[in-house]
Amino acid sequence: MKRNSKIALAVTAAALPMAGRLLMDGRRSQPGWEKLLDWRYAHRGLYDNDAGIPENSLAAFRRAAEAGFGAELDVHLTADGQLAVIHDSDLQRVCGRAGKVEELTYAELSQLRLLGTEEGIPLLSDVLPLFAGVAPLIVELKPIRGNEPELAEKVCALLDTFPDLAYCLESFDPFAVLWLRKNRPELIRGQLSQNFLRDQDRPKFLVSFLLSTLFSNAWTRPDFIAWRWQDRKSPFRALCCRGYRIQGVYWTLTSPEQLLSAEREGALGIFEGFRPTSPHRGGAI
């Protein structure tokens, strides 16, 4: 009996790493990383609210590109199928009015202003020319209510028209990442996540569990894991990025010390609230 128990324990111990790899592994060495790894990325552009340059505005993206920084941005699909660059689906925080991006046409959205400035909500087609041949982008897909196929397809089709632009795509929604795996496997794709199990406003438990443990990787096989800095001690992230050597990305880094710490780990850094001296990883802060 004891012998059987020892055998069972040994089999279990041997199977756990294999099971973990099946659930959490990603993809490595995808061509194109050489165009992305040397950069620092300004979160929602190089914005400065005190200077009247709001997040995800053309002014913020122009400022980032002119300084040579890469940038991270967010894309939603409007009611008429346009690609709007804005973080929240709900317009209250940044535009001061009720409504959802997905429920309005771009003509209606274009009448709104960001955070009390003269800056409006840009289209993705307005932003991409600023970075083509200049610096790379991290493009976050923000699907709502199952529109990830149309959103992902339109974003990819537009990106195809900018051959000089270096970029990768990411999403919190594993269905969006799965769409990229199935339909555009040549593109670098990433899973955004954090420890949702600690958050009171988390998604449904099953979704929170799959994203917090990165078990959704079993379907999506991402090229990188973009993880919230505050949750960096997650054992699941550590296993993926240190154990399985999946490329790491940290958001959002709010000090030079955090950025340097992330880079020492080999991760890419998405920063805000300060301006590094150098736009390149490992350069002066």
| Tens-place pLDDT, residues 7-44 | 443 433 344 465 677 889 999 999 999 999 999 999 99
- pLDDT value for 208: 86
Tell me phi and psi for residue 158, to 5 degrees.
-70, -45
State pTM to two decimals: 0.93
Is the confidence at residue 243, as pLDDT, over 50?
A: yes
Burial of 115 (0-12, 13-18, 19+ CB in 10 A): middle
Longest CA span, the chain: 77
| Tens-place pLDDT, residues 204-218 | 788 888 899 999 999
Mean pLDDT of 231-237: 94
- pLDDT value for 280: 96
Is the confidence at residue 6, as pLDDT, over 60?
A: no
Q: In whole numbers, what is the pLDDT of the chain averaged over residues?
A: 92
| Tens-place pLDDT, residues 63-74 | 999 999 999 999
The domain 30-271 is placed in CATH, from the list 3.90.320.10, 3.90.550.10, 3.40.50.11890, 3.20.20.190, at: 3.20.20.190
- pLDDT value for 8: 42
Is the confidence at residue 75, as pLDDT, over 60?
A: yes
| Tens-place pLDDT, residues 123-179 | 999 999 999 999 999 999 999 999 999 999 999 999 999 999 999 999 999 999 999
Please give the Cα distance from 73 to 137 (Å, whole number): 8
| Tens-place pLDDT, residues 244-262 | 999 999 999 999 999 999 9
Q: What residue ranges in the chain does DSSP mark as E strands?
A: 41-43, 70-77, 83-85, 137-141, 167-171, 189-193, 224-228, 247-253, 268-271
Mean pLDDT of 231-254: 95
- pLDDT value for 134: 98
> Do the Cβ atoms of 177 and 211 come closer than 8 Å?
no
Contacts by 213-218, CB closer than 8 A, 24 or more apart: 213/23, 213/24, 214/23, 214/24, 214/240, 215/23, 215/24, 216/174, 216/177, 216/191, 217/23, 217/24, 217/25, 217/26, 217/191, 218/22, 218/23, 218/24
Mean pLDDT of 77-104: 97
| Tens-place pLDDT, residues 99-113 | 999 999 999 999 999
Is the confidence at residue 1, as pLDDT, over 50?
A: no
- pLDDT value for 200: 65
- pLDDT value for 22: 83
Mean pLDDT of 38-59: 97
